[in-house]
C-alpha cells in the first residue's frame, strides 16, 4: 500500500502532469492524496496522465519550451492511449523502476510560406501536407536531393516516423514500421496522379523536400503533429537525432511490441 500509518509516500524525483480531461484530473487528485511528487525542475522522470494527445503535447513542450527533457511514463486517462500504459494507482514506485525505456527520434519540419515566412517545428508522429480547399494539391517531391516525383496530384502527403506509423499514416494506407527499422514512411493521401502510387519507405536519415505547385491557387497547409502552418510554398523534412525523447513502458506491453501487434489488429 502507498500509505503507511497515514504517512504519504514520496516517489523518488517523479513529477506528475495531467491533461484537463475530467478523468485525468480525478486520477491526479487521487494520486496526489497518496503520493508526494517532485516539481518538474527537480524531477528525473515524469508521470503523465491523459491520452495520446496529451502525451504528444508533453513531449512537444520538452522539445519546444523550457520543460526539461525527461523520460515520460504515461498512464491512460484519455481515449486510445496507444502511447500510454494501463492506469493503475498502486505499485507506482515498482512500475517506474521496472519500466522499459524506448527512444524515439523526432522529425524536423522547415517551412517556407507563400509570404516568405520561415517556420521550424518538430514532429513526433508525422509531418503532413494537406490541401486547404476543395481543389487538389499539386506537390513535387525531392528525396535526398534528387527529384522523385515531378508532380503528385493528391489530397496530401506525409512523412511518418515508426512511432507515428500506426496513426494517421496507417489510416492513409501507409506501412507499419517497427521502432528498430530506422526508416520513415513517405505516404500519399488520396493520390490521383501518379495513379496507384503507394508511397515509399526511406532510410530515416533521408531528407525529403516538398514544393507546392500553384500555392496561391491550390493552397496547402503543413502540419507537424498538431502544429499547423497554412499557405506553404515548400517544406523540408529531416530527422533530428540530437533531440531524442524517452518514453517508459511496462515491460509486458512496451511500444515496440504494440507496434508489431498492430499488424494483426482486425478491429
Asked if 131 and 214 sit in the same domain, the reply is: yes
Q: Which residues are annotated as a binding site?
A: 52-53, 57, 125-126, 135, 155, 163, 166-171
What pLDDT score was predicted for residue 195?
87
Cα four-point dihedral sign 212, 218, 223, 227: positive
Cα four-point dihedral sign 172, 159, 175, 55: negative
Summarised one tens digit per residue, pLDDT across range 129-178 is: 999 999 999 999 999 999 999 999 999 999 999 999 999 999 999 999 99
Has residue 101 got a pLDDT over 80? yes
Asked if 26 and 91 sit in the same domain, the reply is: yes
Cis before 194? omega within 30 = yes
Asked if 137 and 254 sit in the same domain, the reply is: no
Asked if 94 and 136 sit in the same domain, the reply is: no
Summarised one tens digit per residue, pLDDT across range 54-89 is: 999 999 999 988 788 999 999 999 988 899 999 998
- 52 is known as an active-site residue: yes
Asked if 167 and 229 sit in the same domain, the reply is: yes
Has residue 2 got a pLDDT over 70? no
Rg (CA), the chain: 20
Asked if 255 and 196 sit in the same domain, the reply is: no
What pLDDT score was predicted for residue 9?
58
Asked if 132 and 115 sit in the same domain, the reply is: yes
d(CA 103, CA 209): 25
Has residue 196 got a pLDDT over 90? no
Asked if 126 and 230 sit in the same domain, the reply is: yes
pTM of structure: 0.90
What pLDDT score was predicted for residue 234?
98
What pLDDT score was predicted for residue 165?
96
Q: Are strands 45-50 and 72-76 parallel, antiparallel or unpaired?
A: parallel
CATH of the domain at 161: 2.60.200.30
- Model confidence at 1, pLDDT cuts 50, 70, 90, reads very low
- Model confidence at 6, pLDDT cuts 50, 70, 90, reads very low
CATH of the domain at 82: 3.40.50.10330
Asked if 63 and 182 sit in the same domain, the reply is: no
Asked if 112 and 34 sit in the same domain, the reply is: no
Of 12, 52, 91, 150, catalytic:
52
What pLDDT score was predicted for residue 267?
58
What is the pLDDT averaged over residues 174-197?
A: 94
Domain count, the chain: 2
Summarised one tens digit per residue, pLDDT across range 26-39 is: 999 999 998 999 99
d(CA 80, CA 167): 11
What string of H, E and C letters represents the secondary structure of the chain?
A: CCEECCEEEECCCEEEEECCCHHHHHHHHHHHCCEECCCHHHCCEEEEEECHHHHHHHHHHHHHCCCCCCCEEEEECCCCCCCCECCCCCCHHHHHHHCEEEEECCEEEEEEECCCCEEEEEECCEEEEEECCCCCEEEEEEECCEEEEEEEEECEEEEECCCCCCCHHHHCCCCCCCHHHCEEEEEEECCCECCCCCCEEEECCCCEEEEECCCCCCCEEEEECCEEECCEEEEEEEECHHHCEEEEECHHHCHHHHHHHHHHCCC
Q: Which residues are annotated as a binding site for NAD(+)?
A: 52-53, 57, 125-126, 135, 155, 163, 166-171
Asked if 194 and 137 sit in the same domain, the reply is: yes
Asked if 38 and 144 sit in the same domain, the reply is: no
Range(s) of the domain holding residue 10 = 3-104+244-264
What is the pLDDT averaged over residues 190-204?
A: 95
Amino acid at each position: 500500500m502507498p500509505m503507511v500509518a497515514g504517512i504519504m509516500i514520496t516517489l523518488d524525483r517523479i513529477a506528475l502532469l495531467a491533461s484537463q480531461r475530467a478523468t485525468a484530473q480525478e486520477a491526479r487528485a487521487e494520486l496526489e492524496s497518496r503520493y508526494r511528487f517532485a516539481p518538474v525542475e527537480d524531477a528525473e522522470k515524469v508521470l503523465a496522465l491523459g491520452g495520446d494527445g496529451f502525451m504528444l503535447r508533453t513531449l512537444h513542450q520538452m522539445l519546444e519550451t523550457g520543460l526539461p527533457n525527461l523520460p515520460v511514463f504515461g498512464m491512460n486517462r484519455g481515449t486510445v492511449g496507444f502511447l500510454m500504459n494501463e492506469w493503475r494507482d498502486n505499485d507506482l514506485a515498482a512500475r517506474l523502476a521496472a519500466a522499459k525505456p524506448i527512444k524515439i527520434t523526432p522529425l524536423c519540419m522547415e517551412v517556407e510560406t507563400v509570404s516568405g515566412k520561415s517556420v521550424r517545428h518538430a514532429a513526433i508522429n508525422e509531418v503532413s501536407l494537406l490541401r486547404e480547399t476543395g481543389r487538389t494539391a499539386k506537390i513535387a517531391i525531392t528525396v535526398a536531393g534528387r527529384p522523385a516525383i515531378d508532380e503528385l496530384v493528391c489530397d496530401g502527403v506525409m512523412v511518418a516516423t515508426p512511432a507515428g506509423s500506426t496513426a494517421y499514416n496507417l489510416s492513409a494506407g501507409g506501412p507499419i514500421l517497427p521502432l528498430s527499422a530506422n526508416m520513415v514512411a513517405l505516404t500519399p493521401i488520396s493520390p490521383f496522379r501518379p495513379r496507384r502510387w503507394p508511397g515509399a519507405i526511406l532510410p530515416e536519415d533521408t531528407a525529403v523536400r516538398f514544393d507546392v505547385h500553384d500555392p496561391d491557387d491550390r493552397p496547402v497547409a503543413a502540419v507537424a503533429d498538431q502544429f499547423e502552418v497554412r499557405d506553404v510554398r515548400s517544406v523540408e523534412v529531416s530527422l533530428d537525432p540530437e533531440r531524442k525523447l524517452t518514453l517508459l513502458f511496462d515491460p509486458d506491453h512496451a511500444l515496440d511490441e504494440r507496434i508489431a501487434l498492430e499488424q494483426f489488429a482486425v478491429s
